[in-house]
Amino acid sequence: MNDDQPNGNPWVKSLLVWGGIFLALLMVVSMFGSRGDVGQAIRYSDFRSKVAEGTVAEVQIGTDRIVGKYKNGDSFSTIPIPNDTSLPQLLQENNVSYAGRELEQPNMLLYILVQALPFVLILGIAFFALRQVQKGGGSGAMGFGKSKAKLLTERSGRVTFDDVAGIDEAREELEEIVEFLRDPTRFSKLGGQIPKGALLVGSPGTGKTLLARAIAGEAGVPFFTISGSDFVEMFVGVGASRVRDMFEQAKKNAPCIVFIDEIDAVGRHRGHGLGNSNDEREQTLNQLLVEMDGFEANEGIIIIAATNRPDVLDPALLRPGRFDRQVVVPVPDIDGREKILAVHMKKVPLAPDVNPRVIARGTPGFSGADLANLVNEAALLAARRNKRLVAMQEFEDAKDKVMMGAERRSMVMTEDEKKMTAYHEAGHAIVSINEPASDPIHKATIIPRGRALGMVMRLPERDSYSYHRDKMLANLSVAMGGRVAEEIIFGHDKVSSGASSDIQYATSLARNMVTKWGMSDKLGPLQYEEQQEGYLGMGGSHRLMGSDDTNRLIDSEIRLLVDTAHQRATQILQTESEKLHLLAKAMLEYETLSGDDIKQLMETGELDRPNEPKGPARTTPVRGSSIPKTGKRYSGGAAPQGA
């Protein structure tokens, strides 16, 4: 990607500048350093002594210097004493040939050039500073008010719409903008006008910047890119100046596209907070609003911006005429994840057993960036294992690493700690199997990963965009299954801190059911909790809305939901105690069980894995009481897929 604009070769300019400096120094040396061959400088008294000794052959006497030669041919020079009338007699007495010496006259042209050199340098510095100010890229020493927008000309690594997958609706809307730039008469003949702006909205990693690069690769028109933070400066008025300069550059290259990444850095609501920095940001935003749709029309300039915080943008920025379209770039569904995986897997040599559909099903909530990272992790694992192809096992291991953290091989547990972890995870699994609304179990393990000592991972059979009450109640029961199993097997006094994250998740889910989703019969379908934003929309907290009696009722309803889930888990595990022991023993033996293994074990009471090695023994106690029990990946505000 070449971001340099075609304004001449900078290397040639630098060479000319340094060449001029070298010539100037050379002239100074020539002027002041070149006085001919004057030989060795000696004192005047030594000179008279040499003459008296008869070692001097000839001299040339000048008003400012005496130059001569010894009889052996060496040269010398000395500075004479004024009005020394005895020197000619001394020279005659010692048979020294002498003559007068003319005063050296400097080269007048060289003298004038040297005298003018300081003024030339001053003029050169001033000219260089003015050129820096006039630079369009804002990278000059004094280019504070110049735009930092870069003109993209991708000569290698060009991205097109073929590289964008899983977000078909967003891609189609932006393809229409590209078609308009290619053939505007097709739309304008029916009275249509090109959209002035498109705002890409989506979570981090969903592909907003990738879409912008695809537009640059497909449009065939100049494409300027800049970050919202590039407008922000500590000096008031600099950001507005950069906005004006950016649009001036765009007008010269119209029709063109200007892409502003992370526009929320400059486009936040006006009127929040105090201070010069905020005044600067508001001036920059005001200038951007005027340039996008002000008194003067900017024909042929399309603004595309990206943000993951559309809620903090100023309403004037979002109105039609500025950003005519808001293109939502969502987290991909299972079909989209499969397509995204196919795009990234093109760069990886795959084994025949790799099934992108299975991987897509096992990665709910993953964005495009997450899937790219998953494929990269699988390739790195295969390389470390000295494999020529990336197999399904590498993708499974990479998925476990991304979702649950790296396996902690150095963490060795005693048999008692290992046994408690096995029963804890078996409790989750047994409750999940006996809850009809729960998602199927994908994997259960007691191998420590990340911050978790063990894991029961459940995956939905399809993507869910909303959750029902029965599924939430099932998730509450599953979350309580680990603590209940510890209570049943080890007793009330031996329960561990391993359920801390389960309790945190259950409390949060129950609170949302009561205060946000209206799932309390006593409180009804009302919202009792609101989000409070912090300064300038950053951070924030939750505040309960209601009287003290209402808040006490909310707490009691939350407690009732969690207690009911605890009772439900207790009932299931007491009824299925034999299966609880069976599953815990299998996990102690094999450490990791797949969903099919657990299903086979529950149905037949046996596990047929003849080629599977049993788990290694762990003997050193290192388990800490503050380690959270879960390390699963949750996305959004919906209920997670495992507890």
Global pTM reads 0.60
- Axis crossing angle, helix 392-404 with helix 368-384, rounded to the nearest 10: 120
pLDDT of residue 159: 73
pLDDT confidence of residue 624: 30
For residue 622, the model assigns a pLDDT of 31
What's the one-letter identity of residue 59? V
> Does 54 show up as a binding residue in the annotation?
no
pLDDT digits (tens, 9 = 90+) for 289-331: 888 776 666 567 888 888 888 888 888 888 887 888 888 888 8
pLDDT greater than 60 at residue 618: no
Supply the pLDDT for residue 235. Answer: 56
Tokens 């709910």 identify what position?
A: 364
Residues 6+ apart with CB under 8 A from 609: 590, 597
Q: Do residues 417 and 370 lie in contact, with contact meaning Cβ atoms separated by under 8 Å? A: no
150-328, CATH topology level:
Rossmann fold (3.40.50)
The catalytic position among 218, 233, 425, 591 is 425
- Do 351 and 392 meet the contact criterion of CB atoms below 8 Å apart? yes
CATH of 334-404, one of 3.20.190.10, 3.40.50.261, 1.10.8.60, 1.10.10.10: 1.10.8.60
* Nearest partner of 558 among 518, 514, 526, judged by Cα: 514
**pLDDT greater than 80 at residue 104:** no
Which one of 10-24, 86-100, 396-410, 579-593 scores highest in mean pLDDT?
Answer: 579-593
62 is in an annotated binding site: no
pLDDT in tens, 374-386: 999 999 999 999 9
- Which residue from 478, 437, 409 is spatially nearest to 629, judged by alpha carbons? 478
C-alpha 449/C-alpha 481 separation (Å) is: 20
208 is in an annotated binding site: yes
Q: Is 255 part of any known ligand binding site?
A: no
User: Does 1 or 531 have the greater pLDDT score?
Assistant: 531
Please indicate if the annotation marks 515 as binding a ligand. no
592 marked among binding-site residues: no
Ranges of each domain in the chain: 10-33+107-134, 40-100, 150-328, 334-404, 415-604
d(CA 235, CA 64): 61
Lowest mean pLDDT among 48-52, 92-96, 267-271, 327-331: 267-271
* 195-213 per-position pLDDT tens digit: 778 888 888 888 888 887 7
CATH class of the domain at 40-100: alpha beta
Region class of 407: left (phi > 0), else alpha (psi between -120 and 50), else beta: beta
Farthest-apart Cα atoms in the chain, separation: 138
pLDDT of residue 247: 83
- Could you read off the pLDDT of 454-480 as tens digits, one per residue? 778 787 766 666 778 899 999 999 999
Catalytic site includes residue 576: no
| Element containing residue 130 per DSSP (H, E) | helix 108-134
Q: Write the pLDDT tens digit of every residue in 599-617.
A: 888 888 877 765 555 544 3
Is 500 known as a binding-site position? no
Q: Let me know if the fold of 40-100 is the same as that of 415-604.
A: no
What class is the 415-604 domain?
A: mainly alpha
Average pLDDT over residues 62-86: 83
460 is annotated as contributing to ligand binding: no
For the segment 244-259, what is each residue's pLDDT rounded down to a tens digit?
A: 878 888 888 777 888 8
Which pairing describes strands 66-70 and 75-78: parallel, antiparallel, or unpaired? antiparallel
Was 205 annotated as part of a binding site?
yes
